[in-house]
Chain A
Amino acid sequence: MAGIHISEVSKVYTGGVKAVSSVSIDIADGEFIVLVGPSGCGKSTLLRMVAGLEAISAGEVKIAGRVVNEVEPAERDIAMVFQNYALYPHMTVYNNLAYGLKNRGTPKAEIDARVAEAARMLEITQYLERKPRALSGGQRQRVAMGRAIVRKPAAFLFDEPLSNLDAKLRVSMRGEIKRLQRRLGTTSIYVTHDQLEAMTLADRLVVLNGGEIEQIGAPLEVYHAPASTFVASFIGSPAMNLVRGELHGDKLAIGPAMISLNGFAPTSGAVTVGVRAEDLRIARDDEEALPFRLEYTEELGAQRLIHGTVGDQQITAAVSPEIALSAEMRIAVDAKRLHFFSLDTGKRLPGNVPAEAKLAPVEPVL
């Protein structure tokens, strides 16, 4: 068990392409960190640098207090779960699990015990004598997890381990990974491009874009107070509405409409205004509202997404399916639910963190 400290780490490929630039993350012992971002954001490269599969161009990676920049992957005391599982096709499940232990000269009896324990934990005991090709996707995924577990490493590294599974299996495996990590208490770094996976798994998530960190924080913190328009549009589904607006004193103008902010205005002038679909509602007749022209709807069951325009800007709102719809509607939002971002930098304008961000932390249930 150990913390991982990534300080000022960069990766520059020959030819000058910068995949990761000066990323620093302090990961506490036992913490589950998720690196999330679109493809090409450097999340896998960062993980591979921690694993030792990619040379570190600049900066320092410490695992359990030891700088590992020049340490071979095998000596870093980590285990990795690959996207394509990377199971050894010519070995039985047992040998797949035992391979790493055998290489380290672990006594036979202990190998047997550890493999049996991991197999029991992952419910793959009856498949130990099979070859990987005789297993289903979910079972292979478990074997890949088992191979990581048996070694009892200081850290687990997951490289998009669920992206080859179908949607249903992905949800259940997601739960299992979380449960297993809680139970073992092993520090984990998990890479994914799926924001839902990131939200559900992470103790803290790290949103990466273009090789740089956009935001580090607990899932709800990131959800409720995104640090930039990039994070705002990347985390959460449907994506946060981002529209141009103008602040005049305590009033906000969006297209043709004007609403008062009750003191929540952080600045004045042109800004990017963000609002979550679920924070929008159909306005009462007596309140200030935005004129909304309905274009189409999407049914999610519990919610109905209504897509349309306010002025010339696209807006999506989530409303209850019971509400009657018409082509022209008025939608309202509480001023404290609005997010403001700088028009130039896309960074969040401070001073208006919604109250909901300060939610009570969920105690992990074991």
Chain B
Amino acid sequence: MDTKRTTFNNRLLPYLLLAPQLAITLVFFIWPAAQAVKSSFEREDPFGFSTVFVGLTHYRQLIEDPNYLDALWRTAVFAVSVTILSMMLGLAFAAAVNRVTRSARIYTTLLVWPYAVAPVVAGVLWWFLFNTSTGLLPFFLERVGIRWDHDLNGTHAMILIIIAAAWKQISYNFLFFLAGLQSVPQSLIEAAAIDGSGPVRRFFTISLPLLSPTTFFLFIINVNYTMFDTFPIVDATTGGGPAQATTTLVYKVYQDGYVGLNIGSSSAQSVLLMLIVMLLTFVQFRFVERRVQY
């Protein structure tokens, strides 16, 4: 506790130093969010001359709208698939890298690269790979009897965005899992080895349970990622189609608001999306977190 400490007596200084960040947060996050809540209760005419307060009309319409409920279901499928796929692969890569000693740094660097790729670019990249006429993967899939066509086949389109979104997130999960695995004390692994537990068994009975806080953290982060941050990937690959097969909640917010110009409904959707994520996070903390402590 004897770290040197400089004290400033000016009471304004701390606020001044925080001001830039607070200003950015206020202008770009809090204010638009408040606007969204406000406009979700309003209806605006097409030219923006008048707004009418309509109360919960937008919300009521949404929960009765089969299109919206479909999007909700699709988002659930999308979120669960991306989370499971990216976490399992991230863990597998981390376990593999954790076993090598000399070349671990090189693998780590290479595996982290995809995270630096912009989501749109990631989407386009997979879109190229899966391109029906020029892509590499459909060529091989054809040989095993699968006619790949994400422009017409909704399932194919969904698989495409799941792969693209998961691919980008593997890096992130990999890093956290690797850090988690490296913090498992070596002596525990040795004790387990002496206790007659082979490498695979050690991984599942010692390392994996000790990773549970990391797993829990990543689970929440990944669900939030797929709910909010996957818009560019959907937009760059399928554009929500075919026949809305890949219109997730966040994409529908954009489509109804910016393309359909139904600002009120779009705002209501974004508020609902936020509530859904808050609810999920709450549930996860309430019921899952207490099982990850040891």
Contact = CB atoms under 8 A, between A and B. Distances in A.
Interface in B232-291: none
A186 to B, nearest CB: 15
A74 B195 contact: yes
Given A86-B185, A89-B210, A90-B210, A51 B194 contact: yes
A90 B209 contact: yes
Contacts of B205: 99
Nearest to B187: A86
Contact of B196 (A53, A84, A104, A131): A104
For the residues of A in contact with B, the DSSP-based class is: loop
Interface in A76-109: 78-80, 82-84, 86, 88-90, 99-100, 103-104
B194 A88 contact: no
Interface residues of A, number: 24
A88 B201 contact: no
The residue among B193, B196, B198 with the most chain A CB atoms within 10 A of its own CB is: B196
B190 interface: yes
Interface residues of B, number: 19
Contact of A86 (B191, B201, B212, B294): B191
B193 A133 contact: no
A79 B195 CA distance: 8
A131 B190 CA distance: 20
B98 to A, nearest CB: 17
A82 B191 contact: yes
Interface string B173-196: 000000000000101101111111
B117 to A, nearest CB: 36
Contacts of B212: 90
Given A86-B185, A90-B210, A80 B194 contact: yes
Interface string A94-126: 000001100110000000000000000000000
A84 B192 contact: no
Nearest to A74: B196
Among A51, A80, A104, A131, the one with the most B-chain Cβ atoms within 10 Å of its Cβ is A80
B111 to A, nearest CB: 26
A53 B188 CA distance: 12
A291 interface: no
B108 interface: no
Nearest to A144: B191
A147 B195 CA distance: 9
Contact of A74 (B185, B188, B197): B197
A100 B194 CA distance: 8
B195 A100 contact: yes
Contact of A84 (B187, B197, B209, B210): B187
B206 interface: yes
A137 interface: no
Given A89-B210, A90-B209, A133 B294 contact: yes
Contact of B294 (A82, A83, A90, A103): A90
A151 B197 CA distance: 14
Contacts of A53: 190, 193-194
Interface string A56-75: 00000000000000001110
Nearest to A51: B194
A89 B209 CA distance: 9
Contacts of A133: 294
Given A103-B201, A133-B294, A88 B187 contact: no
A260 to B, nearest CB: 57
A131 B210 CA distance: 13
Contacts of A83: 187
A181 B167 CA distance: 56
Contact of A88 (B193, B198, B206): B206
A103 B197 contact: yes
Given A88-B188, A90-B209, A133-B294, A99 B195 contact: yes
Interface in A122-172: 131, 133, 147, 151
A23 to B, nearest CB: 21
A86 B210 contact: no
Given A84-B187, A86-B188, A73 B193 contact: yes
Q: Choose among A51, A79, A90 the residue with the greatest number of B CB atoms under 10 Å from its CB.
A: A90
A74 B206 CA distance: 16
A88 B192 CA distance: 9
Interface in A254-309: none
A72 B194 CA distance: 8
A180 B185 CA distance: 28
A52 to B, nearest CB: 8
A103 B195 contact: yes
Interface string B196-220: 1110010001100110100000000
Contacts of B197: 74, 99, 103
Contacts of A86: 185, 187-188, 190-191
A84 B185 contact: yes
A82 B192 contact: no
Interface of A: 51-53, 72-74, 78-80, 82-84, 86, 88-90, 99-100, 103-104, 131, 133, 147, 151
Given A73-B190, A74-B198, A82-B191, 13 more contacts: A52-B193, A72-B193, A83-B187, A84-B185, A86-B185, A86-B191, A88-B192, A100-B194, A100-B196, A103-B196, A104-B196, A131-B294, A147-B195
6 contacts: A52-B193, A80-B190, A86-B188, A88-B192, A89-B294, A103-B197
